Amino acid sequence: MFEDLQHSTLGYLFGITVFLLVLRFLYSSFSYQEQREPPGPRRLPLFGNLFQVDLKRLDRSLFELSKTYGPVFQVHFGFKKVVVLAGYRAVKEALVNHAEEFGNREITPVFHDFAKGHGILFSNGDSWREMRRFALTTLKDFGMGKKMTEEIIDEECQHLVKEFELFEGKAFSNTQAINYATANVIAATVFGKRFDYKDLNFQAMVERDNKIIHLTGTASLLIYNFFPWLGPFLKNWKNLMKYVEDGKADTRKIIEELKKSLDPDTCRCFIDAFLIRKKHLEDSGVENPYFHDDNLLYSVTNLFAAGNDTTGNTLKWCLLYMAKYPHIQEQVQEELSTVVGNRQIRVEDRKNLPYADAVIHESQRLANIAPIAIPHATSKDVTFQGYFIQGGTTVFPLLTSVLYDGTEWENPYSFNPSHFLDSEGKFSRREAFLPFSAGRRVCPGESLARMELFIFFTSLLQRFRFTPSPGTSEDELDLAPVVGFTLSPKPQKLCALLRN
């Protein structure tokens, strides 16, 4: 009888438990459905909205969808739900005003393949905070945005000018020379040295990083992010992994060489600073969960690749626009002749060169080299502009929609330096100018990139006039980009004619 009573009680309790669990599930489902999710196009089973977008220009497809569904909407790629932020107001409100909620990085399968959660760009939590803080402090210590870095850029600019002079005004592709110049600026800080443009190992490093960044944005790698099991069957994924592994091997060699000659009293570069901090923590017996070899390796590869590709591509766009719009180039050069003459250009000249500054900014805006910011993820549940977004949701800040926002820019699809000039011809900052993104994940090298672009661009235009190759008119220059993770100009030959 006691056993029967015991079984009866257990059965009763089990039934109550199941009943309560069902009620909780129904309540949770009801409550979740009560929340207003962002709108979006109807999706297909398994594939979601993949057939409603062009993966070769995903930013444009999403921008078009925003015109139907508004500044905050959702799409599904396979089983992956993505919330898209479109237009200046939505992007700024999310990344700046709700920086904590939208401040995580979405670690896609390909980003995990890159860094395994280490480094600066593709990490989260305390490790990311520590690495980003250390990187910003170290770059500042090495003069990022200061006189020391200006001298490095000036020196590299002279090498780039000499490279252009070798062609004696004949048509040539400036792609490699510009890539090497911008890579050398970040190399001086990260590795403590510059490389000769003819150094085969250096050439391989730069070319490999550019290929990695290009492949990451191709349609097949986007599909891999949504269906990771396809990786071994995708040629681009196999090529990407080979480039990544080769890049890590070369970086490890440089790190090991610097380790052998490390002097704790003489800090030569970012790698030295990291190694000195690591040794200090170990000698002090302080717990050190962040300063380890993996974080060093991936932080270095993050800084070198990102610092090279984005600045190099922007400078190439600047020169292409000058060849395309010679009347604008003439105005820049008239201003340079009046204000600077033949002396060496300094960063402090920027305030007296408003038109040149406006042209650089307009080149960045129209080139739109990073059309979708590196994906974010919500750190927790958030209600944003009246919509409920679950924690852990992937978020695409659509920078294309910011830089081409018709409510912010008078002529969003035209090259118009007046976007950055006031009625008196003075330079005018625009809040909707966000090529470096915004908030917690804003590009850590923004000040370095701005300094590089100004010195390289103005120095080159001080020395040369850029024209299409003989037999090619300005109208025939192609402004359609090569699409990868960033948008680069198609390799086209220009002439760099010496100015009197």
Confidence of residue 25 (pLDDT cuts 50, 70, 90): very low
Percent of the chain at pLDDT exceeding 70 = 92
Domain coordinates in residue numbering, the chain: 35-498
Whole-number pLDDT of residue 255:
96
**H/E stretch holding 8:** helix 2-34
Higher pLDDT, 307 or 175: 175
Nearest to 74 by CA among 85, 64, 63: 85
Whole-number pLDDT of residue 146:
55
Q: What is the DSSP string of 437-485?
A: --GGGS-TTHHHHHHHHHHHHHHHHHHEEEEEPTT--GGGS--PEEESS
Whole-number pLDDT of residue 18:
43
Give 108-117's long-range contacts (Cβ < 8 A, gap of 24+).
108/225, 108/375, 109/224, 109/225, 109/228, 109/231, 110/216, 110/221, 110/224, 110/225, 110/237, 110/240, 113/240, 113/241, 113/244, 114/244, 114/298, 115/298, 115/301, 115/302, 116/294, 116/298
Whether 248 shows a pLDDT value over 70: the answer reads: yes
Question: For residue range 449-499, what is the model confidence (pLDDT) as tens digits?
Answer: 999 999 999 999 999 999 999 999 999 999 999 999 999 999 899 999 999
**443 annotated as a binding-site residue:** yes
One of 3.30.930.10, 3.30.420.40, 1.10.630.10, 3.40.50.1370 is the CATH number of 35-498, namely 1.10.630.10
Tell me the whole-structure pTM to 2 decimals.
0.90
